[in-house]
Amino acid sequence: MSLKIYMNGKIIDEKQAKISIFDHGLLYGDGVFEGIRSYGELVFRLKEHIDRLYESAHTIMLKIPVSKQQMTAAVIATLRANKLKDAYIRLVVTRGEGDLGLDPRKCPKATVFIIADKIALYPDRFYKQGLKIVTVPTQRSSAETLNPQVKSLNYLNNILAKLEAINAGAEEAIMLNAQGHVAECSGDNIFIIKKGVLLTPHISMGALKGITRQAVLDIASKSGMSVKEDVLTRHDLFNADECFLSGTAAEIVPVVKIDGRVIGNGLPGATTLKLLLNFRKLTKIDGVRY
C-alpha cells in the first residue's frame, strides 16, 4: 500500500510526491527537519517538535509558508490519511526550488512535506543486551559553526561519525566537541548515571536539545533523582555506573561498552530500565490526540 504524503498544502500519493532537482534541500542540504513519533493515537510532545522546527528555520532565515497551527494540523491530517496509530513522522522544510547557485533569495517558496510511516523499531537485542559504542574522530560542530540546535538537512557530520562507528564494528558513535568533551551520539543524546546522579552533556557541549532528553530529565527529576547537565569527559563515561542513549526513534537504549571499557556490570542498568519503563508510560498519556 502506498503512503499518503503531505506536500505543500495537499495530501497526495507517495508516487506523486516529487522534489525538483533544483530544490536547495537536495543541492545544498538547505533546510530543516523533525522526527516525531506517535504512540497509539497520541503524538508525543508535538508542540515541542513544531517549536524546534520553527526555531531551526528562523535561525537559517527560512520562512515556513504555513503557521505552526497549520503545520500541527498537517501532521495530524497525514497520520489520519495513512490510518496510522504507532508511527514515525518526518517533517521536512527545504529552501525550495532555486538555481544552481547558493543564493537562497533565488528560492521564492519553501517546500514542505510530511511523511508518516510505520515505526521501524530498533532490534530488541539493543534493549536487552545494551549497545557497544565508540568515540569517533569526527567532531560535533560547534555553536560557532553549524549550531547543533539547528536540526538542518546537513547531517554529513553525523553520517561520517556513524560510518566511523560502523567501521570500528560498533553500533553507535560518540561525538566529542573540539575541546574533547562529550557532545552526543550521531542521532541520539547520551546520559550516564554515577552514584545515583543522572548526568548528560550540557547543550553548550554541542548536543542537540533533544526532546526525549528533556523528557528523561523531567521523569528523573520527578522521581527525586538528582540530575545535572554538565561537562563530561570520556573518563566520566568509562567510569559510569550506567550509560544510555535517548532519542525519538530509540527512546532509551542502554549502553554496556564504550571504547572497549565495560560500563558498570556490563548489563543494561537497573535505573536505565526503570527510566525506559517510565518513559513508555509517559508516551501513553503525554501527547496530542488524533
Contact 241, 194 (CB under 8 A): yes
The residue annotated as part of the active site, out of 151, 162, 195, 222, is 151
Q: Which range of residues in 3-11, 57-65, 77-85, 184-192 is near ligand PMP by CB under 6 A?
A: 184-192
Q: Which residues inside 189-208 make contact with ligand PMP, applying CB under 6 A?
A: 189, 208
Q: Residues near 163 by Cβ (< 8 Å), separated by ≥ 6?
A: none
Assess 135 for contact with ligand PMP (CB under 6 A): no
DSSP of 247-287, one letter per residue?
ETTTEEEEEEEETTEEPTTSS--HHHHHHHHHHHHHHTTSE
Assess 212 for contact with ligand PMP (CB under 6 A): yes
The minimum distance between CB 33 and ligand PMP, in angstroms, equals 8
Assess 188 for contact with ligand PMP (CB under 6 A): yes
Q: Which residues inside 232-251 make contact with ligand PMP, applying CB under 6 A?
A: 246-248
Assess 139 for contact with ligand PMP (CB under 6 A): no
Q: Residues near 276 by Cβ (< 8 Å), separated by ≥ 6?
A: 127, 244, 251, 252
Calculate the alpha carbon distances from 132 to 91, 95, 188, 242, 259 in Å.
30, 38, 14, 13, 8
Chosen residue from 158, 271, 272, 283 binding ligand PMP by CB under 6 A: 158
Q: How many residues bind ligand PMP (CB under 6 A)?
A: 14
Q: Which residues inside 30-69 make contact with ligand PMP, applying CB under 6 A?
A: 35
> CA 171, CA 45: separation in Å to the nearest integer?
27
> CA 146, CA 51: separation in Å to the nearest integer?
19
Contact 140, 148 (CB under 8 A): yes
Assess 213 for contact with ligand PMP (CB under 6 A): yes
107 or 185: CB nearest ligand PMP: 185
20 or 157: CB nearest ligand PMP: 157
Q: Is 151 a catalytic site residue? A: yes
107 or 208: CB nearest ligand PMP: 208
Calculate the alpha carbon distances from 153 to 35, 93, 199, 223 in Å.
12, 9, 29, 36
Residue numbers at the binding site for ligand PMP (CB under 6 A): 35, 158, 184, 187-189, 208, 210-213, 246-248
